[in-house]
Structure 1
Amino acid sequence: MAWASSAGDTLRARIRTVALGLGSEAQLLDDAALQLEAHARAVDEAKAAIVAAQAAVQLAWDRSVNVVGNVIETTTDIAVASVSSAMNTIGSALSGAADEVRVTMFTMADELVPESTVELARSVVRAVPALPPAGSRDWLDLDGTFSTQGWK
């Protein structure tokens, strides 16, 4: 601006001051925008981690609930003559009777299920009787619990 007077000088000084202030404000807004973008990325990553944890825990929990709800436990006494001598010895020691051995079997859909699988499923269902709502941060905690307990 070519205005030559003290009012022109004052106006030019005021414009410089306003321009510097606007530049500072613009920089603050840019910094805030970058922080918001970083926060949005972190939220998206957390939501993705929750979805992954929910999928993994839900699968393991559903399997456990299925085993607990559908396994059939059958306990029978088997004549000593039909088992090996090792089983005969064990059966005698445990039951006190030498003529029969008590055997417990777990089946589901006519397939044998190992006792360890049944006990694991029971542990899961006892520890986690219900799952959190979809999208809850609690899925991350459950995922950690399932991992440390070996339930996945």
Structure 2
Amino acid sequence: MATNSTNRIYPLQLTNDEWRTKLTAEEYHVLREAGTERPFTGEYTDDHTEGVYNCRACGVELFRSTEKFDSHCGWPSFFAPAAEGKVEYIEDVSLGMKRVEVRCANCGSHLGHVFEGEGYATPTDQRYCINSISIRREPLAG
């Protein structure tokens, strides 16, 4: 699932200064510097409102409420992205462990990590552990 490529050219390219203008300091830290918000502090952690979750940096749809579930891990959890190709996977060996980072495939922003085989009763046996600050929920169209 993971790749080692971190030098990919994304469809949306902005300079660091442009990103800093567009995002708050906290958003920039998580989305552009692969930071993490503190557990149980994000606005979508326990949210059950129907909607689509877009990348906070570029607005592309990434996840849907129909794939969101309660994992009680401290961050919003999804068992699948909204569609194939919406996110990209990067091998992450920081912090002395092997994980799979999840990024927006449109702008390269850090979203969180995906974990497999944790025993959650989901159709994919995956948990996309996503920072609330990386996404913005919008109402379902229609």
Give your verdict on TM over 0.5.
no
TM range (shorter): under 0.3
Identify, as 1 or 2, the structure richer in helix.
1
TM-score (normalizing by structure 1): 0.19
- Flag the structure with higher strand content: 2
| Structure-2-length-normalised TM-score | 0.20
Higher-Rg structure is 1
